[in-house]
Structure 1
Amino acid sequence: MKLINSCSRRALKWRFSRKLRNSDRCYISQNCLGGRFYELEGRRYTSPTVGLWFRSSDFIEFCRNLDENLRAKISFDSAETERLGYPVGRLKEIRIYFQHYSSFDAAVAAWRKRAARVSLKNVLIVMTDRDGFSAEIASEFDKLNYPRKILFSHDPAAMGPNTIYIPGYEGDGCVGDLYGAYHKLNAASVWPQLFKILAS
């Protein structure tokens, strides 16, 4: 199984680097998965949403007013930071969980540098059905006014041109860690739809 997954990862990297190497997409992602897309394409980060995650409702709110939120000040959430053991910030009422940063200052410095690279006309919203996801959140996702967006779902009955079903998580209530299990994106049932959205 490990060998199969390894081969699938290599094949996926080849597909990204060959088919999407001239990409100018800006991945605004709910979690680390957007960072994986940049890595597969071999591009520098043009988005601040790397190495962190949002709860679903906060991510929707962040995307609703993206331009304003990218310029807003991020304050330190000491209580959440102490509870979780890694930096947490607040952008107005939106919590940002900087899980893969060593300090709040380092997280904010990286955020500011990458936020300055965002091209709003090239934004692609990336979301997964975890961390507080619900039918209401799905409806709000559909209403987000972006021509390119992806919702990865564990539910084979999930509908919508922007929803991609990821097999193997049907009993889990949500998709798993797709940053680590990114070989699943190379599945025959996933890649064609994913590429169609990414290449649009």
Structure 2
Amino acid sequence: MVGIVDLEVFLKRKIRQYFKVYFDSREQRSLFNKDFVIVSRNCWGSQIYQQLNIPYNTPFIGLFFYGPCYMKLLKDFDRYMGVDLNFIPVSKYKDAKNDYPIGVLDDIEIHFQHYSNEDEARSKWNRRKKRMLLQQNKNHYFFMICDRRGVTSEDLTDFHGLPFKNKVSFSINPMLGEKTEEHIILRQQSNDKRTFAVNGKKLYKLTFLYFDVIQWLNTGKIQRTRFK
């Protein structure tokens, strides 16, 4: 049986989908901070740039990180961003498909799942990283994490302890320790048995139900919407 909440989510998603051009245009007009940098562990971040129709000024596009590598990257972000990108043939993670380019920055892996070859991945990573590094003010960087592919509850807590101004996390479960508006607890539909967040693209399509992304980019504040 479909619950009231399930029906509400379904209808709101369909409205956003049907009137996509209107909503995209409205939010493009509402954005005044266009110098932001999204650092995302999956395709959630790329969806923001696409919706707002602005260039990717971040290399974190069309790829994903496993939890341990992503946390290691964030905890020493500036150093890793200064490391040259190389490639390996096989991932250290057993469930990796290994049918796309796998980059490495020293000891962390980057899974370029939406790239056809290493040359393309290297070229776009380097070009977009150079564009990102032009923005030296970390207050214009926006960091995202969700509990997929080895991201633990402890990682979510550590993530919110990082010295970055703008952060948001998504999980099916509450965060360990002190609550924060920057942690989004995803509602599950009545027939949903998952124990972790959906993939980045699907997650972004649901984000409007939880907080105003444009307000976040403009002010750095998480303004909750329907679900809290």
Q: What is the deviation of 1:51?
A: 0.1
Q: Does 1:114 align with 2:133?
A: no
Q: Does 1:124 align with 2:142?
A: yes
Tell me the amino acid that sits aligned with residue 8 of structure 1. Answer: R
**Aligned pairs (5 A) from 1:130-149:** 130-149=148-167
C-alpha distance in structure 2 between counterparts of 1:175 and 1:45, whole Å = 24
In the alignment, what sits opposite 2:13?
A: 5
Q: What is the deviation of 1:127?
A: 1.1
**Aligned pairs (5 A) from 1:33-112:** 33-80=44-91, 83-112=97-126
Q: What is the deviation of 1:42?
A: 1.2
> What TM-score do you get using the length of structure 2 for normalisation?
0.76
In the alignment, what sits opposite 1:19?
A: 30
In the alignment, what sits opposite 2:185?
A: 165
In the alignment, what sits opposite 1:197?
A: 216
In the alignment, what sits opposite 1:152?
A: 170
Tell me, yes or no, if the aligned pair for 1:38 and 1:44 is still in contact at 8 Å: yes
Percent pairwise identity: 23
Q: Structure 1 stretch 132-141 or stretch 77-86: which is displaced more? A: 77-86
Tell me, yes or no, if the aligned pair for 2:42 and 2:65 is still in contact at 8 Å: yes
C-alpha distance in structure 2 between counterparts of 1:153 and 1:15, whole Å = 28
Q: Structure 1 stretch 22-31 or stretch 72-81: which is displaced more? A: 72-81
Tell me the amino acid that sits aligned with residue 102 of structure 2. Answer: V
Tell me the amino acid that sits aligned with residue 48 of structure 2. Answer: F
SS at match of 1:161: coil
Report the aligned-residue RMSD.
Answer: 2.4
- Specify the structure having the higher radius of gyration (Cα): 2
Q: What is the deviation of 1:6?
A: 4.0
SS at match of 2:13: helix
Instruction: Count how many residue pairs are aligned between Structure 1 and Structure 2.
Output: 196
Superimposed CA distance per residue, residues 104-156 of structure 1 (whole angstroms, 9 cap, x where no aligned partner): 1110110000001112421111111111011221122022110001111222x
SS at match of 1:116: helix
Tell me, yes or no, if the aligned pair for 1:21 and 1:41 is still in contact at 8 Å: no
C-alpha distance in structure 2 between counterparts of 1:171 and 1:160, whole Å = 25
Q: What is the deviation of 1:71?
A: 2.1
Judging changes above 3 Å, is the alpha-carbon distance between structure 1 residues 191 and 83 closer, same or farther for their aligned structure 2 residues?
A: closer
Tell me, yes or no, if the aligned pair for 1:12 and 1:185 is still in contact at 8 Å: no
SS at match of 2:90: helix
Q: What is the deviation of 1:4?
A: 5.1
Q: Does 1:179 align with 2:201?
A: yes
Tell me, yes or no, if the aligned pair for 1:178 and 1:184 is still in contact at 8 Å: no
> What TM-score do you get using the length of structure 1 for normalisation?
0.86
